[in-house]
Structure formats: structure tokens, C-alpha cells
């Protein structure tokens, strides 16, 4: 899958413009509050065009860093990784809203299909933080869109 990607972590003071898309939770102690497609229609994406997607989330507890994983699953079950990396300088505190932003360009062969975009935010903990938390906190959201 030919995809352009850029990822940044922002403290949310105001919400960015964009069309809010329906999302469903796929686990975690934190919460995704909103997912937006900044330009274009929320119902469909055009193959070959780059889109900015933003996801606002609130963490359940503090962590010294974040690892973000974004994958796309097509209607045939094929999964393509868009982004999978630990973000530098990404310490978070609980109950503060943050935004993860990435760019996605649907590949031409996906035209006419539905895809699921899965966004996972995992907390990276120091050894001391692991002692305080029994579970590895993860926030997860899935967005379904049609590629035209």
C-alpha cells in the first residue's frame, strides 16, 4: 500500500477543523474522544489523494512515552501497517486530551472497497512505572471508510 505518513503528538487546547467520523473502541483503559478527517468527506476517501486524520484521546494514567500503531485492513482481510513507532518526547499525564495526527493516501487498488483504519496508542513505561501498573494501558479506535 502506497501511503504517506507523518505523526505528531499535540496537547489539545482547541479542536482542529475537520469532519468527525464515527469510531468504535477496540480496547484500553484510556478513551478516544473523537476522530476527524481534516479535509474531504468522512464517508469516503478518494484513492491516490492524501488525507490528514486526527484522533483525540485521553489517557488513563501517566506514562513516560507513547507508541503509536496505525494499520489499514481491507475487505479481503489484508492488513497494511501505516505507522508503528515510539514517539519521541511523548510523555503524557492522565485526563489531559491529546491528539495524534497522521497522513494517509489510499492505494489505487483499494478503490471501490471498504477499509478499517485501526489506531492504537500504547503507553511506554519505565521499569518503575511498570511496577505501579499491572496492565499495559492501550487506547484503540477503529474507523470504517469507503475508498472511491
pLDDT value, residue 22 = 84
H or E segment and range at residue 128 = helix 127-132
27: left (phi over 0), alpha (psi -120 to 50) or beta: left
Residue appearing with cell numbers 480496547: 27
CA gap 104, 134 in Å, rounded: 34
Percent over 90 (pLDDT), the chain: 39
The answer for residues whose C-beta is within 8 angstroms of residue 111's C-beta and 6 or more apart is 47, 147, 148
Q: What is the DSSP letter of 16?
A: P
- E strand segments, 13-50: 19-21, 24-25, 31-37, 44-45
Sheet containing 31-37, strands listed edge to edge, beginning at the edge strand earlier in sequence: 8-11, 97-104, 51-58, 31-37, 19-21
CATH 1.10.599.10 assigned to domain 8-147? The reply is no
Write down how long the chain is: 148
What ranges do the domains of the chain cover?
Answer: 8-147
pLDDT digits (tens, 9 = 90+) for 28-37: 888 899 999 8
Residue appearing with cell numbers 505507522: 83
**pLDDT reading at 135 higher than 60:** no
pLDDT digits (tens, 9 = 90+) for 97-107: 999 899 999 99
Amino acid at each position: 500500500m502506497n501511503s504517506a505518513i507523518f505523526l505528531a503528538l499535540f496537547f489539545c487546547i482547541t479542536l482542529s477543523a475537520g469532519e468527525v467520523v464515527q469510531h468504535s473502541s477496540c480496547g484500553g483503559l484510556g478513551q478516544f474522544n473523537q476522530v476527524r478527517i481534516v479535509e474531504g468527506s468522512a464517508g469516503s476517501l478518494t484513492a491516490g489523494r492524501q488525507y490528514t486524520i486526527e484522533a483525540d484521546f485521553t489517557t488513563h494514567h501517566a506514562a513516560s512515552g507513547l507508541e503509536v500503531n496505525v494499520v489499514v485492513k481491507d475487505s479481503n482481510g489484508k492488513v497494511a501497517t501505516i505507522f508503528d513507532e515510539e514517539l519521541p518526547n511523548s510523555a503524557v499525564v492522565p485526563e489531559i486530551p491529546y491528539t495524534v495526527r497522521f497522513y494517509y493516501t489510499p492505494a489505487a487498488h483499494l478503490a471501490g472497497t471498504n477499509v478499517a483504519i485501526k489506531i492504537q496508542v500504547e503507553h511506554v513505561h519505565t521499569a518503575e512505572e511498570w511496577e505501579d501498573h499491572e496492565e499495559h494501558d492501550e487506547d484503540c479506535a477503529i474507523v470504517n471508510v469507503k475508498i472511491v
